[in-house]
Amino acid sequence: MTDQTENIATILTVGDGPNAREIAMLVREADREGPTLVWLGGYRSDMTGTKAIEMDALAGRLGLKAVRFDYSGHGASGGAFRDGTISRWLEEALAVIDHAGGSEVVLVGSSMGGWVALRLVQEIARRGQGPKIAGMVLIAPAPDFTAELIEPNLSETERRSLEERGYFEEPSEYSPEPNIFTRALIEDGRRNLVLAGILQTRCPVHILQGMKDPDVPYSHALRLVEHLPADDVVLTLIRDGDHRLSRPQDIERMVAAITAVANPA
């Protein structure tokens, strides 16, 4: 199996003219036939986080190809974070998969990455071309979070800040820098809603959700399940799990879920 001793990012340019941005990718090549594992990170996270690294290590053990990348405004990629929207980050994910994904992929989406994963399935089906989605593992997925989890809970001060400044800030539990939510992100989120009807994934889906998640309540995962076809959907509720799900026991669950989806017996 290939040992990835150096993490040398490949740069892929997405978009044209003033919208062009350089997207950094880390690609582990395969040692055998099988689906490519694609990491889709969360809001303000990057491809060097614990879960992303563990997915890559699993790909090495299984001999599979793995692709990690940073959305624009995140990690090693170019572009301004404040320009980010679901549509923009979806375009980048599609470009990365078209460039490096191969003929079959397993999408591993964390938090916002779960929303991007579900939109990817829709966009690839709409285009009628692209890789086969062999499976999905969604970790604390946050589909439609702008409309479902942010907008209904805005304070009057935050609403006024959106109107007057075009963004608002809130403290982050995971960074000394505050989270920034822009009016463009929220308005674009309404154009990317997925919890409106049945989501035809046409592949196995395994959801891992902590019941002590302060950011995405587990009721949100239950609602997502209602929008997925009954066959091949597994929801694992972790009673003491938080949003990150990065403890050793959580990583074990993630690894087992990816292995079952990507390497079925």
| 47 within 8 A of 16, measured Cβ to Cβ | no
Buried b (16+ CB within 10 A) or exposed e, 64-73: bbbbbbbbbb
Phi, psi torsion values for 14, nearest 5 degrees? -120, 135
DSSP H helices, 5-111, are 50-62, 86-100
- The model's pLDDT over 201-246, given as tens digits with 9 standing for 90+, comes to 999 999 999 999 999 999 999 999 999 987 799 999 999 999 999 9
pLDDT for res 119: 98
Q: Given a cut of 80, is residue 265 above it in pLDDT?
A: no
- CATH superfamily label, 23-262: Alpha/Beta hydrolase fold, catalytic domain (3.40.50.1820)
CA atoms within 13 A on the CB side of 1: 14
Q: Is the pLDDT of residue 1 over 60?
A: no
**Of 40-54, 81-95, 166-180, the least confident:** 166-180
pLDDT at site 176? 84
Cα–Cα distance measured from residue 145 to residue 165, given in angstroms and rounded to the nearest whole number: 21
Query: What confidence tens digit (pLDDT) does each residue in 100-153 have?
Result: 999 999 999 999 999 999 999 999 999 999 999 999 999 999 999 999 999 999
User: What CA–CA distances, in Å, run from 105 to 33, 92, 120?
Assistant: 12, 16, 11
pLDDT digits (tens, 9 = 90+) for 54-88: 999 999 999 999 999 999 999 999 999 999 999 99
> β-strand 10-14 against 21-28: which pairing, if any?
antiparallel
pLDDT of residue 6: 52
- Tell me the whole-structure pTM to 2 decimals: 0.95
Asked whether the predicted pLDDT for residue 40 surpasses 50, the reply is yes
For the chain, domain boundaries = 23-262
Give the orientation angle of helix 183-190 with respect to helix 156-165, to 10 degrees.
Answer: 100
